[in-house]
A and B are shown apart, each in its own frame.
Chain A
């Protein structure tokens, strides 16, 4: 797109030069043109010629401005690129970046104080009022939610942007899973649950993919599993000749079959179907699947509901190698 804009600018500059030359020729033709064809017309043909060329160049310049202004009004550039949307996304991202820091800083401070207080309590014997302990636990429990919420807002803004070329880098999927499990291990343990991960083969190696997209997708899947698991969450990394797979399994009560077709819908939560108040945004799985699709991958779900003793839910994210 930048190249086309540059070409357009060059064309306008060239036309501007033509207009300037045309005016010079028209003026000069009255003085010098008579030397060449005095008897042809009252005004020298060079002046006509220069006039036509000048008008054509002016028309071209005017035309490009009119077309561009109309295209911007309707959301399209001359080359079909969605410019208003792009500008909107850029602006939203700038606003978000401004507030990201300001949103994160107070929470960082609250968390720091909470951890400091926890450390003091542990050192002094820890006989705090149960209400105080509950408050400290709640703050710690909400930290991953807040981190994910900030990231989800950012990704939602990016999902609105026009598609960009694939941004692939060498990435170790095992490292990504490890980082996310680290993040959730504490919260999950406090809720009396366990999170375990492994890869097959154990030395999984490197793939070329979009690391931030993978991290975001798997974070949403693990966040979801940590809410619904009864006791265990398992994350398994596998691969075959063409794809690698990240399976997030939980031993929760499972997803009712009539809910399964909707779980990836934007804003859908189980409460929506009951017409109750939503307890979450319902964006996590929508974001995860949309991001996976954008990266040439997919997410599938398989679930067995209670009272079946094998009740569980497993999401499998697949990406090309």
Chain B
């Protein structure tokens, strides 16, 4: 759910587009005009949460140009947290760079309140990543860059060829678990390294590191064959300075 008085602006629509690509259905709160725009947005936001029961809210801080509404979003946030504790809220604001204010607001909330702040200069990709982390859980199907998909429940990896999903049959057992671990980390934080210690439990033999290296090579070969490409050392799964591995989505 998006609550922003500039909901028709390009910046909000570019975020909406990215959220749609993510597979999240967006609902924009747009009340009819009135005298006190902030109050109207507050009422409309609370009513819509009650009606729509969204999984998360993206909430502007400033509503209109009236002095009273400069920080209206913060009072809407408090109302949301009072009535719907646990509902993730991403404060989407021009003021995120005001560290004192952000710190003050954070300090006034419960330490575990699912609230985060992001400024409007952030890319839609950053907004999506923040929302993913606010939601906290990793979905059962992770789409990796449009050419690869991992179904954690069915334990199947697919490659996307045109509009078709083709299973990669060689990635099963430990190899699937390694890829699942890398994909889950990438989903939450694309730049994060998965250290060897976390992956070595999916390897066998005396030399766990060597066994892991072989499995990674096999994963890359299996996906490469399914996509008809060759993945080198700096593609798909990269070894970062011998500390661990990181997933890089295959280029479209």
A-side interface residues toward B, CB under 8 Å?
97, 100-101, 104-105, 107-109, 111-113, 115-116, 119, 140, 143, 146-147, 150-151, 154-155, 158, 167, 169-170, 175, 178-179, 181-183, 185-186, 194-198, 200, 202, 210-213, 215-216, 232, 234
Which of A97, A111, A213 has its CB near the most chain B CB atoms (within 10 A)? A111
Residues in B whose Cβ lies below 8 Å from that of A107: 121
Contact yes or no, A147 B99, CB < 8 A: no
Q: List 6 A-B pairs, minimum CB-CB distance, nearest first.
A: A212-B99, A112-B10, A112-B11, A198-B193, A181-B191, A115-B14
Known pairs A111-B121, A115-B10, A186-B125; A195 contacts B191 (CB<8 A): yes
- Shortest distance between the CB of B131 and any CB in chain A (Å): 12
The residues of B with any CB-CB pair to A shorter than 8 Å are: 9-11, 13-14, 17, 62, 94-95, 97-100, 102-103, 106-107, 111, 119-126, 129-130, 133, 189-193, 195, 197-198, 238, 240-241, 243-244, 246
Specify the main secondary structure of chain A where it touches its partner: helix
- Judging by beta carbons under 8 Å apart, are B10 and A109 in contact? yes
Q: Is the CB of B121 within 8 A of A210?
A: no
Which B residues are CB-close (under 8 A) to A100? 94-95, 97-98
Interchain CB contact under 8 A, A198 and B94: no
Distance in Å: Cβ of A111 to nearest Cβ of chain B: 6
With A116-B10, A147-B97, A169-B106 given, is the CB distance from A196 to B195 under 8 Å? no
Least distance between A157 CB and chain B CB atoms (Å): 11
Cα separation A202 to B124 with both chains bound (whole Å): 27
Contacts A151-B97, A185-B190 given; indicate if A212 touches B103 (C-beta within 8 A). Answer: yes
- Rounded to whole Å, the gap between the CB of A223 and the closest CB of chain B is 14
Q: Considering the chains assembled together, what is the distance between the CA atoms of A111 and B11 in angstroms?
A: 8
Set of chain A residues within 8 Å of B95, measured between Cβ atoms: 100-101
Q: Complex Cα distance A165/B129, Å?
A: 34
Contact at A181–B189, with CB atoms within 8 Å?
A: yes
B192 near A198 (CB under 8 angstroms)? Answer: yes
Give the distance in Å from the alpha carbon of A5 to the alpha carbon of B241 in the complex: 59
- Nearest Cβ distance between residue A137 and chain B, in whole angstroms? 13
List 15 A-B residue pairs with CB atoms under 8 Å apart, sorted by A's residue number.
A100-B97, A101-B94, A101-B95, A112-B9, A112-B10, A178-B133, A178-B191, A182-B130, A196-B246, A197-B193, A198-B244, A200-B195, A210-B103, A211-B99, A216-B99
B198 and A105 contact, CB distance less than 8 A = no
Partner of A113, one of B10, B111, B198: B10
Q: Choose one: B99, B120, B130, B240; the contact of A154 (CB below 8 Å).
A: B99
Contact across chains for A115 and B240 when beta carbons are under 8 A apart: no
Query: Quick one: closest B residue to A140, CB to CB?
Result: B123
**Are the CB atoms of A112 and B14 closer together than 8 Å?**
yes
Q: Is the CB of A147 within 8 A of B119?
A: yes
Q: A108-B121, A115-B14 are in contact. Are A211 and B240 (CB under 8 A)?
A: no
Which residue of the partner chain, among A115, A150, A169, A195, contacts B124 with CB atoms under 8 Å? A115
- B107:A169 contact, CB within 8 angstroms: yes
Shortest A13–chain B CB gap in Å is 33
> Is B119 in contact with A119, judged by CB distance below 8 angstroms?
no
Q: Which of B99, B107, B119, B243 has the most CB of A within 10 A?
A: B99
Query: B191 — which chain A residues lie within 8 A by C-beta?
Result: 178, 181-182, 185, 195-197
Instruction: Determine whether the beta carbon of B106 is less than 8 Å from that of A211.
Output: yes
A179 to B: closest C-beta gap in Å = 8
Instruction: Provide the bound-state CA to CA distance between A216 and B14, in Å.
Output: 27
Bound-complex Cα distance A201 to B219 (A): 27
Residue of A nearest to B125 (CB): A186
Closest residue of B by beta carbon distance from A96: B98
CB neighbours of A154 from chain B (8 A): 97-99
Q: Which of A104, A197, A215 contacts B121 (CB 8 A)?
A: A104
In the assembly, what is the distance between CA of A113 and CA of B10, in Å?
6
Q: What's the nearest-Cβ distance from chain B to residue A235, in Å? A: 8
Note all chain A residues with C-beta closer than 8 A to B97. Answer: 100, 104, 147, 150-151, 154
Cα distance A185–B191 when bound, in Å? 7
Beyond A109-B11, A116-B14, A196-B193, whether A202 also contacts B198 by CB under 8 A is yes
Report the minimal beta-carbon distance from A118 to chain B, rounded to whole angstroms.
9
B145: min CB distance to chain A, Å: 12
A119 → B minimal CB distance (Å): 6
| Sample of 12 further A-B pairs with CB below 8 A, known A154-B97, A182-B189, A202-B197 | A100-B94, A109-B11, A112-B11, A140-B123, A147-B97, A150-B97, A169-B106, A178-B191, A182-B130, A182-B190, A186-B123, A211-B106
Nearest B residue to A216 by beta-carbon distance? Answer: B99
A100, A113, A158, A212 interface centre (most CB from chain B within 10 Å): A212
A109 touches B9 (CB 8 A): yes
CB contacts (< 8 Å) of B100 on chain A: these are 158, 167, 212
B14/A97 in contact, CB under 8 A = no
Alpha-carbon gap, A104 to B95, bound state (A): 9
Least CB distance from A95 to B in Å reads 14
Question: For the complex, what is the distance from the CA of A191 to the CA of B62, rounded to whole Å?
Answer: 34
CB contact between A197 and one of B17, B125, B192 (< 8 Å): that residue? B192
Cβ contact within 8 Å between A104 and B195: no
Q: Are B94 and A108 in contact (CB under 8 A)?
A: yes
B159 to chain A, nearest CB (A): 21
Quick check: B123 and A143 within 8 Å, CB to CB?
Answer: yes
- Contact partners of B94 in chain A: CB under 8 A: 100-101, 104-105, 108
